Amino acid sequence: MSSRVTFFEVEILDYKTKKQLCFLDKVEPHASINDIRLMFHKFYPQWYPARQSMRLDPKGKALRNEEILQRLPVGTTATLYFKDLGPQIGWTMVFLIEYAGSLFVYLLFYLRMPFVYGLEKKLMSRRLPVVNLACICHSSHYIKRLIETIFVHRFSHGTMPLKSIFKNCFFYWGFAAWLAYYINHPLYTPPSYGQKQINFSLITFLLCEAGNFSIHVELNNLRGNGPKTRRIPYPTKNPFTWLFFFVSCPNYTYEVGAWISFTIMTQCVPVGLFTLVGFIQMTIWAKDKHCTYVREFKDYPSFRMPIIPFLL
């Protein structure tokens, strides 16, 4: 004799007005929040699942897609609160826009368009070797990012609010224009220690770029069972992954290292400021991911730091 299934009833209210938006009857106990979002979408086609936020409390934290109804702290009649997140855009498209824009903006300044500098032709024709090298390094960095976005990265969160793309593009494109203006200026002066400084920074830049790419590939390999699968990353035979012995997010470590190298190569204040801002933001992300690892895995290596070995 089969056991009797107890179905749930789900009431969905507006998180502000507390007005009932819909009532779902006979919901399977093993239904996920994503399943409920799909059911809600049938009632309100304008609110597709990606722009829905479902929560147990109007001011509480949004429930994750994979959470199961019968495992939530609710009775057989559950009340969920809905918040419209607004129009969404996929993370792949977000990164493509940010990176392609930064690449294009920098090249505009590198080509020294007359409307940018407006100097004499004899000055416009002079271009130092380090300026050409900086353009190659900056362009290769963002081309690598575009390739990773298309072929390597898999995102656990599929979308972000459309309005945020304007803020992100202002940051990336604005900084790209600011640092490109000074590096490509006809009156730009080369680094103080000459070719030795340039060569040293170029070597460290290339090593950090290779390390960053290696970490992204390894993180992608860890998600072989799907983008939402989370496992502890460990070093592999690839020497660039050995940084996993010491930090939780070596991709950020290598990223910061690449921009520090680019700062040394160009000896440009705007590049240094961009590196500093990026380091602060990546430290926040690294700490958050590190805390998530520690919380989810009891056997997580205790000697690892978020981003800087032995320090931070």
Give per-residue pLDDT as tens, 161-217. Answer: 888 899 999 999 999 999 999 999 988 999 999 999 999 999 999 999 999 999 999
Residues 54 and 150 in one domain: no
Indicate the SS3 state at residue 230. coil
Average pLDDT taken over every residue of the chain: 91
Residues 98 and 159 in one domain: yes
Can you list the alpha helix ranges (DSSP code H) found in the chain?
33-43, 91-110, 114-117, 121-124, 129-151, 164-183, 194-222, 250-266, 269-296
Residues 60 and 175 in one domain: no
Instruction: Look at residues 53, 86, 119 and tell me which one is the last residue of a structural domain.
Output: 86
pLDDT of residue 207: 98
**Residue 191 and residue 66: Cα distance in Å, rounded?**
53
Residues 129 and 68 in one domain: no
Confidence of residue 1 (pLDDT cuts 50, 70, 90): very low
- Domain containing residue 42: CATH number: 3.10.20.90
**Residue 131 and residue 129: Cα distance in Å, rounded?**
5
Asked if residue 226 has pLDDT above 70, the reply is: no
Residues 120 and 186 in one domain: yes
Asked if the structure places residue 63 within a domain, the reply is: yes
**Helices 91-110 & 164-183 angle (0-180, nearest 10):** 20
Instruction: Look at residues 68, 86, 104 and tell me which one is the last residue of a structural domain.
Output: 86
In the chain, the number of structural domains is 2
Residues 247 and 269 in one domain: yes
Asked if the structure places residue 56 within a domain, the reply is: yes
Domain extent, residue 31, equals 8-86
Asked if the structure places residue 169 within a domain, the reply is: yes
Report the percentage of the chain scoring pLDDT > 90. Answer: 77
Confidence of residue 76 (pLDDT cuts 50, 70, 90): confident
Asked if the structure places residue 52 within a domain, the reply is: yes
Residues 94 and 219 in one domain: yes
- The pLDDT of 25-32, averaged and rounded, is 92
pLDDT of residue 163: 87
Indicate the SS3 state at residue 13. strand
Instruction: Look at residues 56, 86, 116 and tell me which one is the last residue of a structural domain.
Output: 86
pLDDT of residue 247: 98
Note the pLDDT tens digit of each residue in 91-138.
Answer: 899 999 999 999 999 999 998 777 777 766 555 667 899 999 999 999
Residues 17 and 109 in one domain: no
Residues 125 and 63 in one domain: no
Residues 55 and 100 in one domain: no
Residues 47 and 96 in one domain: no
pLDDT of residue 75: 85
For residue 79, which of 27, 41, 115 has the smallest C-alpha distance? 27
Contact of 88 with 161, CB cutoff 8 Å:
yes
Q: Which of 160-169, 240-249, 295-304 has the highest mean pLDDT?
A: 240-249
Asked if the structure places residue 312 within a domain, the reply is: no
> How would you class 278 by CB atoms within 10 Å of its CB: exposed for 0-12, middle for 13-18, buried for 19 or more?
middle
Residues 50 and 101 in one domain: no
**Residue 32 and residue 61: Cα distance in Å, rounded?**
16
